[in-house]
Structure 1
Amino acid sequence: MSKTASKPKLRILIVEDDPMMQLGLEQTLSTVSDFEIVGQAEDGYLAIEAAATLKPDVVVMDIGLPRLDGISATKQIKEKFPNMGVVMLTSHRLQTEVVAALSSGADGYCIKGANIERLVTAIQAAKEGGSYLDPQVARLVMNNLHPVVPAEKREALHTLSEREMEVLKWIVEGKSNNEIAEILYLSPNTIKTHVRGLMNKLSVDDRVQAAVIALRSGLV
């Protein structure tokens, strides 16, 4: 009788200089059955070395790190390993820092102290090649990126189907494809198709840009 091959776990590198926070993250994320903590680093330079050595699927990165900050470390990691996911987990909420982090290539931005489910969602989204933006900082990005939505972008919103519009609203809420699939009782592949369709209609490259257009246009 053949055994079903187990699904490989999502490998995570934690970059955090606070020992207590580092321990808390390791213990919390280890409770997620699909996750495996493969290493930890205390500063930006060590993070780059660990990323190269351990080849994690996703790096959970703090911004305020000694020697080399998390934004600079993320930029170097994404330049070397563009398919490696990076999720910023930080207490920093300044508009300039949020935008700088996303500009460095970060796939997600989470605020420390928020519901752990948001971090799990961000990690899963990064692994899938998606993006996640904590609702607490979404409007900061909205006010900086495309302060005025071009008329063609606003008009493009009206070309979205009812289902695509529904999916877009859940993207703004920070939901992953799998979560949206559960909410709408559809398959993840169907949701991926809708996401791809709405991104094409809005002429954007990622979910964050789509969310920004929705927010700036008063959709939510």
Structure 2
Amino acid sequence: MIRVLIADDHQMFIDGIKSLLVNNKRIQIIGEAHNGFEVTEFVNKQKVDLILLDMSMPVMDGMEAMKIVKQKFPDLKIIMLTMFSTRDQIEKLLRAGADGYVLKNTGKEELVLAIETVMKGESFFSKEVTEQIMAGIQKKKVANRNAMIVELTEREKDVLKLIVKEHTTQEIAEKLFISTNTVETHRKNLVSKLNVRNVAGLVKYALQNGLDE
């Protein structure tokens, strides 16, 4: 039997959750709380397996309550319930220790699935939340990739492209109509700017950042 505490400042919502879970033989609603402080008081007095925790509540919000509960009872599972699913909010909740994140408009099947999933030690996120998380990951990947691209002059790019194509210093000088000394200067500047050790490092950087064409 999974002992569940429902925490929300709207009684109508608590009653709605109860109606969704009342006939489930594996889930027992053992209490309710209307603010974060009541949540922390309840778990200190009674054994709880999982909390369905509202994000926005008076006195103490869900985020603060979760931090306190997780610090004292790290194995207690917490599923955050909210009307919102902004990427920043999701990331904050995950860092704070949320085991799941479900929107309040979820249905009975998804809610039960969320409870059963986190009780197995896994994380659960509603479809909308998962999409937000993936969008955030993709955005960070793009940002990291862009951060790798150092500002190079057009001439430095020309030299780098020819280095990738395995041209010698003399050949590069002839193709760009510059002296071999100038080519060597550009090569040294590239190594310094891109923080690599040798020509192999220059080639790797060029390939990773699309500067080989």
TM-score w.r.t. length of structure 2: 0.63
Find the aligned partners of 2:120 and 2:85 in 1 and give their Cα distance.
Answer: 25
Q: CA deviation at 1:106?
A: 0.6
Whether the 8 Å contact between 1:16 and 1:61 is mirrored in structure 2 is yes
Amino acid at match of 1:32: N
Deviates more, 1:95-104 or 1:138-147: 138-147
Q: CA deviation at 1:143?
A: 2.8
Find the aligned partners of 1:99 and 1:119 in 2 and give their Cα distance.
Answer: 21
Give 2:18's match in structure 1, choosing from 21, 26, 34.
26
Amino acid at match of 1:137: V
Whether the 8 Å contact between 1:63 and 1:92 is mirrored in structure 2 is no
Find the aligned partners of 1:21 and 1:68 in 2 and give their Cα distance.
Answer: 18
Offset from partner CA, 1:32-75 (integer Å, 9 cap, x none): 11110111000001111112212211000010111111111111
Amino acid at match of 1:133: F
1:140 and 2:132 matched: yes
Amino acid at match of 1:18: H
Give 1:70-219 correspondences, 5 Å limit. Answer: 70-145=62-137, 147-148=140-141
Q: CA deviation at 1:144?
A: 2.8
Q: CA deviation at 1:85?
A: 0.4
State the secondary structure of the residue aligned to 2:30: strand
TM-score w.r.t. length of structure 1: 0.61
CA RMSD in angstroms, aligned pairs only: 1.6
1:16 and 2:8 matched: yes
Which structure 2 segments of 5+ residues have no match?
145-213
Find the aligned partners of 2:96 and 2:136 in 1 and give their Cα distance.
Answer: 15
Structure possessing the higher radius of gyration over alpha carbons: 2
Whether the 8 Å contact between 1:39 and 1:54 is mirrored in structure 2 is no
Q: CA deviation at 1:145?
A: 4.1
Find the aligned partners of 1:71 and 1:142 in 2 and give their Cα distance.
Answer: 22
Find the aligned partners of 1:115 and 1:27 in 2 and give their Cα distance.
Answer: 11
1:67 and 2:66 matched: no
* Dislocated runs of 4+, deviation >6 Å: none
| Residue-pair matches, total | 142
